[in-house]
Amino acid sequence: MFRKNRSVILQNDQTQKIDKRINHQRLIKRLAIIASLFFVLLIGYGAVIHHVNSVENNRQAVFIKKKPSVIFFYKDDCKYCNKIFINVLVEKETGANIQLVNLNSKYNRERYKGEYLLEKVPTFVLLDKNGKEIERYAGSNMSKAQKLIDKAKDMK
């Protein structure tokens, strides 16, 4: 009788060890899948940023139109500009009057830095129908920038 109980106890210990090993392997697989998905999303986000920046960099000279709009002055190597760039681009693509001016372009920097008295980037400048500056915001708080964008939408 003792031998029988002993073998049952040994089988239970082995079963528990096998169950722990299986659960551990499942956990590792799940973590690997989650890490892979995160990595793919991160690469996709980086690719979008790179593509948009390369498109904008290929435009050497930007001529600001004197119309009701928001001018977004930025540099593509500025981390604060990159933080909000996608949001601004989405607003532009959905119909907001936003003019993008990359100050890494020598022409844009020389022409507009003095004309609009730019001290830092990102800077948003709201223009009226005559092209006169009404309001400005310098910073990366998207909710404050959104207020200027909404004002430009209302001026249409």
Amino acid identity, position 50: H
State the pLDDT at residue 8. 55
- Is the model's pTM score more than 0.85? no
The pLDDT tens digits for 76-131 are 889 999 999 999 999 999 999 999 999 988 889 889 999 999 999 999 999 999 99
Give the per-residue pLDDT at 81: 95
**CA trace torsion 97, 77, 147, 110 (10° rounding):** -60
Q: What's the rounded Cα separation, in Å, for the pair 18 and 120?
A: 61
Share of the chain above pLDDT 70, in %: 85
Q: Is the pLDDT of residue 18 over 60?
A: yes
